Amino acid sequence: MLNPYFAHIITWVYFNINLSRTKRNVLVYIQMYSFFVFKTSFFCKYLIYLNFRKLNQQVFTK
């Protein structure tokens, strides 16, 4: 099981590398990532979802 904080770091790095991608592609990646990595734990999935909401606001409101 992946640590949620470690996953948050991975996603933060991913967002910074792929800033030029479209919002749709990023959202698709989020859904795939959260499903395959965290399908065994709803709580971890929810934590990642909250982290991604923060990242979405930071990235897409600039």
Torsions phi, psi for 8 (to 5 deg) = -65, -40
> Which has the higher per-residue pLDDT, 33 or 21?
33
Identify whether 53 is part of a domain: yes
3-state secondary structure 36-55: HHHCCCHHHHHHHHHHHHHH
Confidence of residue 62 (pLDDT cuts 50, 70, 90): very low
* pTM greater than 0.75 (yes/no): no
Say what the pLDDT of residue 50 is. Answer: 72
Say what the pLDDT of residue 37 is. Answer: 61
Identify whether 16 is part of a domain: no
Show the domain range for 51: 4-10+21-60
The count of structural domains within the chain is 1
Per-residue pLDDT tens digits for 22-48? 555 666 666 666 666 655 566 666 666
> Which has the higher per-residue pLDDT, 45 or 52?
52
